[in-house]
Amino acid sequence: MRKKQGQKQGKRAFVVDIITAHGDYISAEDAWNQLVDKRATTLKDANELGTTASSAEGDGKLSKRRGVNSEGKSRMLYGPPGIKVADGTTVYADGRTSVNEPTVVEAVWPVNPAVADIPLGRLLEYLGTDMDDVMSVIRDAVYDRPLAKLRTEYPGLEDIVKRVAGVE
């Protein structure tokens, strides 16, 4: 059944009402097509419904997650507000529970980090290179190559090794 917006009801309150009454996660496009009486609302389209739902989620009146709509396309889905419990269960205001929803953990990275600010060891770990591999290559280069060949193949390595060893 399609819902009508009350005469003194704001857009946000209306969107929260229809999504909460639906009782499950739904995309803005599906909510627009299935739940809204378009003759009795101030919302213009599905995009405005999604924007309004997103702002309601920011206020804690709805929850959202990434999922697929009724056509199988990846969309943001909006649902009733819920409280996550430690075991991954979400408890909704009406008493329903949703068991074992995946918990999303966001990594905290500096904004626009410059590569020069990232330690080389971290970059090598990210690329799957072990510290032992790096040390083995350095050991081979320093201990097994003649000095003249070391200077041509790895310019600057001799200076670095001397500085680290305290020999100048």
Token output for 38: 């378009």
Using the structure block, give the residue that is written with the tokens 């009454």: 21
Token output for 88: 């991954």
Would you state the pLDDT for residue 101? 47
Report helix, strand and coil shares of the chain as percent, to nearest 5: 45, 15, 40
Domain with CATH 1.10.10.10 in the chain: 11-81
Would you state the pLDDT for residue 157? 83
Token output for 148: 């003249």
Token output for 104: 């999303």
The stretches of the chain forming alpha helices (DSSP H) are 11-22, 28-35, 46-58, 120-126, 131-144, 147-153, 157-165
Helix (H, G, I), strand (E, B) or coil at 84: strand
Distance CA 78, CA 22 (A): 10
Digitized pLDDT (tens) for each residue of the chain, 168 residues in all:
788 888 888 889 999 889 888 888 888 899 898 888 888 888 899 899 889 998 888 888 888 888 877 788 888 888 887 655 555 566 555 555 665 545 455 555 555 556 667 777 777 777 777 777 778 878 888 888 888 888 888 888 888 888 888 886
Q: From the centroid of its chain, how far is CA 158? A: 44
Helix axes 46-58, 28-35, angle to 10 degrees: 120
Indicate the class that CATH gives domain 11-81: mainly alpha
